[in-house]
Structure 1
């Protein structure tokens, strides 16, 4: 299957990238990135099926780029930013505006009549927008509006999945975080959560498998179970670990 990936240089996206390159279910990988970068190498990684498209305006998709993505079957939207690193307006633009614009544009891509759009959200996302945090409100609003798209005639090809990881355990190959983050998260928060509330910790290996499986699946709602919500369209951290 032909999969589109964003956020490939980030914590979650880097793990998804490796999973896509090693998965036989992904036969073509189109990576949208603000800059070019070197693909990872390894015995199990097939880099020949991947192509990087440098793209800087994620609110707009020119016809030339859309044509190159034509026939894609799904997208894993792993692009994101911390609410502490940017202004409120920029956070809303990256977290809400970008994925909504992409989903609308990508709805016309598939040859099969359906397109799996997998949005990496997070625990604490609140579709009712009653959260006290900007993260919870904006992620929740994005989830809600993405799900709304798939019920419209114009974007009816979309099959939306909102995936909510908890604290993401980074793989050893990806530790480009600040010293303060490493000390605070790795030595204080993460050990406590692993011991007391393991369901709120999402190892990148398990998370990337879930994301790729959803993107390459048949688009059907997930069966009921712990951590599955929104009629089979939302996957919480508890379900990621199962």
Structure 2
């Protein structure tokens, strides 16, 4: 901890999903973040003085945009698919293979980078559940890459920010559960603001490789 702040320029993936959008909103509003690059398959719909956007279809091949990915000291990786309805081969490709390809490319281009990966509560490489195994393997192999830091985030229920365009519609009906869930099981419930702020606060740390469960995310957001 205690890193001297220079400039914080971050790359965000998944900005057209709920988590990525929320992290983007927190970064755009944070004085700690100087510049944001989002890489999307479709426009995010956001415009801001410190925001740049690259529309790129193939996340398995960044060769055409590699020159634009240099000079960033963080990646907040919020891209992913649900295991519900996905066959094992597709889920592995879109969770492990895609994440590792992006991470390997960025670690080659930015040796001082902090990589934050949104995994999920219940992730465990030794679980009987295939999705938990794949996420666990992804977490483990990310820590072996030559980043300055790697943080694996394992949030549970996430309460969206007001005004999010890409929040899941079912949250409209179950947000009332949040105060009760937080009181009974605080580690399983965090706000989007807490998750985004925790990612931003990793940039004041040095040389860490950590798994962050729900309570850790909440604590880090308050630093």
TM category (shorter chain) comes to 0.7 to 0.9
- 8 Å contact from structure 2 (residues 182, 190) kept in 1: no
Partner of 1:38: 45
Distance in 2, matches of 1:157 and 1:207, equals 21
Give the TM-score taking structure 1 as reference length.
Answer: 0.79
Equivalent of residue 14 in structure 1, options 18, 21, 25:
21
Q: How does 1:114-125 map to 2 (within 5 A)?
A: 114-125=112-123
> What residue number does 1:77 align with?
77
Aligned to 2:144: 148
Q: CA deviation at 1:37?
A: 2.8
Distance 1:137 1:238 in 2: 22
Equivalent residue runs for 1:27-176 within 5 Å: 27-39=34-46, 47-62=48-63, 64-110=64-110, 113-126=111-124, 129-149=125-145, 156-174=146-164, 176=167
Do 1:200 and 1:237's aligned partners in 2 also have CA atoms closer than 8 Å? yes
Counting matched residue pairs gives 211
Match of 2:206 in 1: 219
| CA positional deviation for 1:182 | 4.7
Cα distance change of structure 1 residues 141 and 19 upon mapping to structure 2, 3 Å threshold: same
**Contact 1:3–1:30, Cα closer than 8 Å, also in 2:** yes
Highest RCO, 1 vs 2 (Cα 8 Å, sep ≥ 6) = 2
Q: Matched residues in 2 for 1:85 and 1:14: separation?
A: 24
Structure 1 gaps of 5+ residues are 41-46, 150-155, 222-231
1:43 is aligned to none
TM-score by length of 2: 0.85
CA distance in 2, matches of 1:10, 1:119: 14
Secondary structure of 1:208's match? helix
The verdict on how the C-alpha distance between 1:27 and 1:85 changes in structure 2, with shifts beyond 3 A counting, is farther
SS in structure 2 at match of 1:241: helix
Counterpart secondary structure, 1:30: strand
State the distance in 2 between where 1:53 and 1:204 align. Answer: 24
Alpha-carbon shift at residue 24 of structure 1 (Å): 2.4
Alpha-carbon RMSD: 2.1
Separation in 1 of the partners of 2:118 and 2:184?
A: 24
Q: Deviations over 1:181-234 (max 9, x none)?
A: 654x4456x4652232122101111110001222x334322xxxxxxxxxx511
- CA drift at 1:170: 1.4
1:193 alignment counterpart: 181
CA contact (8 A) 1:69 1:109 kept: yes
Cα separation, 2, equivalents of 1:133 and 1:166 = 16
Unaligned residue ranges in structure 2 (runs of 5+): 1-7
Distance 1:49 1:81, change over 3 A: same
Cα gap change, 1:66/1:219 in structure 2, threshold over 3 Å: closer, same or farther? Answer: farther
